[in-house]
Amino acid sequence: MRYYLICGERSGDLHTSRLVAALKQRDQQAVFRGIGGELSQANGLELYRHYKDVAVMGAWEVFVKLPFIFKRIKETKEDILRFKPDAVVLIDFGGFNMKIAKFAHEQGIPVHYYISPKVWAWNTSRAHNIKRFIDHMFVILPFEKDFFKQFDYEVDYVGNPLKDAVADFTPDPEFIKKYNSKPVIAVLPGSRTQEVTQMLNTMLQMVPSFPDYQWIVAGVDNLNASLYEEAKKAGVEVIYNQTYQLLNVSRAALVTSGTATLETALFKVPQIVCYKTSAITYSLAKFVIKVPFISLVNLIAGKEVVREMIQSDFEPKALKIELNKLVTEGDYRTTILKEYDSLAQKIGEKGVSDHTASLMIKYLKK
């Protein structure tokens, strides 16, 4: 079969790559094309575009770049028609992918969606369009199945693919040896330019207050290296594409809200979830978002497990107080680690990509 896949960020590329690999195992004649990154390309996805060529983050930023986005959507539709897929497989990236879902549905192409848009967080009426345009939805958060039942839409809960990624991780003894002289505090400032620009400076202001720790920034090599100059000036090492190795040796972490918060929890690293965006985007988000938390850790747990420092709360004084509590042995740190154990059980077992691929092929054969 011919599969056209679209993801819009680095974490989506990881999940796309694993799904492509799983589909290939079950469909020896499979051909893949679409929008992804280096990981999915390495597993067999022919890139029409890299995800960084289509991704825009933030409500105000999206508004400003609407002509650019509409142009990319139009070009992607044209590429889908040229490719003539047996199925369009969409991975997260709701704003862009829902436009593609509607188009593919109108063209009579089966639409499978892996990792649902966060319609439960804001503008829940979008669930009606999901039901209308998407043939099969594969969700990765345990509460999403019940959410869609409200709209009389049956979805498949497949578990969380990060369970696979973390389970398959192999620690590097050389990495451990290199960073065992002092306890490590990891800085995960995000995988997008806007995130690193907004987050890194404030995170680095903690370094002088914790001289007994090694500070290491998790960088991504598809961003401009100049974004990490502040870290180098502060004497903080930046390592690229080794986030799991870093988390494996870390005592605590400052993490920009996103997939990385759940990854950090699965590595049992106490963390502070941080987020800051433009004033306009934040004002819009406060108006429309309907959930009490922004981090996956707290959303899945249904309560505050880790501290979230958002917008004006994300400031050096409060950050220093919270980080000191995290690195100090005691009840606060122990409670977080116990909650992480419960969280790991809630998101299911490994084998998510394989399970999703088998369901997709079963539905397509019908």
Average pLDDT over residues 132-149: 96
Q: Predicted confidence band at 286 (pLDDT cuts at 50, 70, 90)?
A: low
Quick one: DSSP state of residue 50? E
pLDDT at 60: 46
DSSP per-residue codes, 158-200: ---THHHHHHT----HHHHHHT-SS-EEEEE--SSHHHHHHHH
Which pLDDT score, from 0 to 100, does residue 288 have?
62
Q: What are phi and psi of 172, to 5 degrees?
A: -95, 115
Beta carbons within 8 Å of 129's beta carbon, 6+ residues apart: 98, 101, 102
pLDDT in tens, 182-230: 999 999 999 889 899 999 999 999 999 999 999 999 999 989 999 999 9
The whole-number average pLDDT for the span 30-52 is 97
Cα(13)–Cα(335) distance, integer angstroms: 33
Is a pLDDT exceeding 60 seen at residue 24?
Answer: yes
Q: Per the structure block, which two tokens stand in for 235?
A: 């004497």
Q: What is the mean pLDDT of the chain?
A: 93
pTM greater than 0.95 (yes/no): no
CA distances from 308 to 47, 191, 304, 336 (A): 36, 19, 8, 13
Q: How far apart are the C-alpha atoms of 184 and 213, rounded to whole Å?
A: 6
167 has pLDDT over 50: yes
> Given this model, what pLDDT does residue 62 score?
55
User: pLDDT value at position 63?
Assistant: 54
**Look-up of token digits 């319609």:** 119
- Predicted pLDDT of residue 277: 84
Note the pLDDT of residue 253: 98
What residues have CB less than 8 Å from 215, skipping those under 6 apart? Answer: 184, 185, 187, 204, 206, 207, 234, 236, 237
Contact 326, 270 (CB under 8 A): yes
Specify the pLDDT at position 56. 61
Q: For the chain, give every residue range classified as CATH 3.40.50.2000.
A: 2-162+350-365, 169-346
Instruction: With cut-offs at 50, 70 and 90, classify the pLDDT of residue 280.
Output: confident
Identify the pLDDT of residue 64. 56
Mean pLDDT within 251-276: 96
pLDDT digits (tens, 9 = 90+) for 51-68: 988 876 555 455 556 777
Pair of tokens at residue 271: 């963390």
- Residue 150, pLDDT above cutoff 80: yes
**CATH number assigned to the domain covering 169-346:** 3.40.50.2000
Contact call for residues 159 and 140 (beta carbons, < 8 A): yes
Single-letter amino acid, residue 120:
W
**Burial zone of 22 (CB within 10 Å; 0-12 exposed, 13-18 middle, 19+ buried):** buried
Of 269, 237, 241, 236, give the one whose Cα is nearest residue 255. Answer: 269
Q: Is domain 2-162+350-365 in CATH 3.40.50.2000, yes or no?
A: yes
